[in-house]
């Protein structure tokens, strides 16, 4: 069984590695253009924030 503390430590380590990689990319390629950043944020919001379901009104009738 893995302890919560070791999971947290591994997660923190992965986040730090990702942050370092993103800083390296930023130095090599320059900052992300505002339009690309906005598009990425919208994409993430679609994945993370649940969208309301739309009912079409095409419900099948139950037979008696």
Domain residue extents for the chain? 4-48
CA dihedral 7→10→12→16, nearest 10 degrees, is -170
Is the C-alpha dihedral spanning 4, 7, 8, 9 positive or negative?
positive
pLDDT at 58: 64
pLDDT at 3: 83
Q: For residue 32, with 0-12 CB atoms within 10 Å meaning exposed, 13-18 middle and 19 or more buried, which class applies?
A: middle
- pLDDT per position as a tens digit, 8-51: 999 999 999 999 999 999 999 998 999 999 999 999 998 887 76
pLDDT of 55 above 80: no
CA atoms of 22 and 37, how far apart (whole Å): 14
């Amino acid at each position: 069984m893995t302890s919560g503390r070791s999971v947290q430590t591994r997660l923190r380590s992965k986040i730090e590695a990702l942050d370092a990689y993103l800083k390296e990319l930023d130095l090599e390629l320059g900052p992300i253009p505002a339009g690309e950043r906005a598009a990425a944020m919208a994409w993430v919001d679609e994945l993370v924030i649940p969208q309301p379901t739309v009912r079409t009104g095409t419900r099948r009738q139950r037979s008696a």
